[in-house]
């Protein structure tokens, strides 16, 4: 577990969001810009939203055009 992680809820990065959890979401949701070992350390009961899209087969192959 990560030190900042205190249990079920909704987090943006390492900051807990002070809003009620929306119906249909898992008990614990973390929106993060990294889905590597840190996300794995949270365990299988945590839904991690990959905000860079790198863990998604489609979005990870899109090109950014300025």
Residue 46 has a pLDDT of 85
Residue 1 reports pLDDT greater than 60: no
Residue 19 has a pLDDT of 79
Whole-Å CA distances, 36 to 16, 21, 32, 48: 20, 25, 10, 10
Whole-Å CA distances, 22 to 1, 27, 29, 34, 65: 24, 10, 11, 23, 34
Report d(CA 59, CA 27) in Å as an integer. 26
Residue 64 reports pLDDT greater than 80: no
Element containing residue 16 per DSSP (H, E): strand 15-16
Averaged pLDDT for residues 12-25: 83
Alpha helix (H) ranges present in 1-66?
37-41
Residue 9 has a pLDDT of 85
Residue 22 has a pLDDT of 80
């Amino acid at each position: 577990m990560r030190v900042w992680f205190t249990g079920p809820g909704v987090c943006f990065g390492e900051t807990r969001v002070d809003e009620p959890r929306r119906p249909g979401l898992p008990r614990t949701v973390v929106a993060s810009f990294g889905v590597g070992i840190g996300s794995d350390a949270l365990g299988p009961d945590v839904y991690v939203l990959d905000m860079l899209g790198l863990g998604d087969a489609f979005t990870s192959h899109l090109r950014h055009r300025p």
